[in-house]
Every structure is written in C-alpha cells, then in structure tokens.
Amino acid sequence: MSDVLSNATRGRLAEFKVAMATNIDISIARNEWSPYDLVTPNGIKLEIKSAAYLQSWYQKALSGISFSIKKARHWDSAINKISLIPQRHADVYVFCILKHQDKKSVDPLNLDHWEFYVLATTELNSYTRSRHSITLNS
C-alpha cells in the first residue's frame, strides 16, 4: 500500500507501530473480527485509533483531530452472534496522531512525525462530554 496518508492505511500503520512498541508478536495474523485491535504479551487488550492533520485528498485547511470512542456490539465468530449490549471491549485506547503538518515533507514512517496518547477504558467510560468521540483537546 503506497498511500500511507489514506485513513485506512494510516490506521494499519498506527497499529503496527503500537504492536512494535508493546512487543506484540506480529508474525501472528490479526483477527479482523476481534472486538479490539491488539493484545499485549501481558494480555492487555488495545484499541488503536488514528488521526492526522493531513489527508491524502486536497485540503483547504488542516483536519481537526477527533477519535471515535463509540461503544460497539461485538460479533462472536465462535457462536455466530452479535452481542446485545454495546460496550468498549479493550482495556486501553491508544490515540495515534500523525502530527506533521507539511504535506511536502510528511513521512508517516518517521516516528518523530507522530504523537501517542494512552487512556484506560475506565477513564473513557467516565468521560461525560461525548459518548461517541473525543478530541485532542479533551
């Protein structure tokens, strides 16, 4: 995938960066249907969220930074059913921001162009401003 500024590709790259930083074995294929993105060797379930000021398309201005934190229903492949109660399934959320703001020199592979924020799900569950998203300022 060559367009690492695209939302989907950037998200996968953010997951890879977090996996490497937390010593997750990347030789094991990620389960696309899992209710969270990664599991650390200690068993901590991680939800990885990615955002950027720059997008792959034309922009008149930089994008605002916001992350979805909406509770979700989980599809369980073992029983072929969707859970009835929406919830946040991970223990920790990692918010990854491609912070670089110059499209000519942005390099998503350069770790210096990123910032990472980590928040326990228990903190998100007590967050009262919005139940669906959180901004960088928040």
Tell me if 44 is assigned to some domain. Answer: yes
Position 94 in a domain:
yes
Those residues whose C-beta lies under 8 Å from the C-beta of residue 131, and which sit 6 or more positions away, are 69, 70, 71
Beta bridge pairs of residue 67:
134
Number of domains in the chain: 1
In a domain, 2, yes or no: no
Residue 1 domain-assigned (yes or no): no
pTM over 0.85? The answer is yes
- Whether 105 maps to a domain, the answer reads yes
Residue 55 lies in a domain: yes
In a domain, residue 99? The reply is yes
- SS3 for the chain is CCCCCCHHHHHHHHHHHHHHHCCCCCCCCCCCCCCCCEECCCCCEEEEEEEECCCCCCCCCCCCCEEECCCECCEECCCCEECCCCECCCCEEEEEEECCCCCCCCCCCCHHHEEEEEEEHHHHHCCCCCCCEEECCC
Whether residue 92 lies inside any domain: the answer is yes
Range of the domain at 124: 7-135
pLDDT (tens digit, 0 to 9) for every residue of the chain, 138 residues total?
Answer: 668 788 889 999 999 999 999 999 999 888 888 899 999 999 999 999 999 999 988 999 999 999 999 999 988 777 888 988 899 999 999 999 999 999 999 999 999 999 999 999 999 988 877 778 999 888
